[in-house]
Amino acid sequence: MSDLTSLEEKTQVESDPLTVPAYGYELIREILIPELLGRDTPDLLYWAGKRIARLFPLNTVEEAYAFFQKVGWGNLEVVKQTKNEIIYQLSSELIEKRLKEKGKCTFQLEAGYLAQQYEQTKKVIAEAFEDPKRKEKKVTITVRWDSKDPVEG
């Protein structure tokens, strides 16, 4: 991906009122992307999520709730928070359907996005892990960081 994305282009994307039908979104995310990327899909989606976070940085991590809603990733809420970890629960009708109908689905895009937002706002290395909860029809995303491991640069 190029760093040539202008502020103007980002602003246009952020303010565009058009919506995409869920079927079209799922077709691309759950069929086309895995077909193109194969077994590397989860890893590449994680890094794509990190890239999206760099392109659309937040001032605070709390702004992620609205971002998740805006891009159709679901409802994000905090389940538990400690000094070096936060556990989120992600839910939506689309997530329920994906967990019910698909044998294997990934939420690495969302995990990568959250990890990068924590790196940018806390200035420490962060990692995120997904844990789909099929019975609960929700996804848990855990973000961990080490305050003693600052981001270089």
Domain-embedded: residue 2? no
- Find the domain containing 142 and state its range: 7-150
Tens-digit pLDDT profile for residues 108-146: 999 999 999 999 999 999 999 999 999 999 999 999 999
pLDDT value, residue 38: 95
Name the domain count of the chain: 1
Domain-embedded: residue 128? yes
Query: Per-residue confidence at 101, pLDDT binned at 50, 70, 90?
Result: confident
β-bridge pairing 85-91 and 124-133: unpaired
Domain-embedded: residue 95? yes
Domain-embedded: residue 142? yes
CATH number at residue 124: 3.30.1380.20
pLDDT above 70: residue 8: no
Do residues 112 and 47 touch, judged by C-beta distance below 8 A? yes
Domain-embedded: residue 85? yes
| 28 DSSP 8-state letter | I
pTM: 0.86
Do residues 90 and 74 touch, judged by C-beta distance below 8 A? yes
Domain-embedded: residue 23? yes
Tens-digit pLDDT profile for residues 35-58: 999 999 999 999 999 999 999 999
Domain-embedded: residue 1? no
In terms of C-beta density within 10 A (0-12 exposed, 13-18 middle, 19 or more buried), how is residue 21 classed? exposed
Domain-embedded: residue 67? yes
Do residues 10 and 53 touch, judged by C-beta distance below 8 A? no
pLDDT value, residue 17: 64
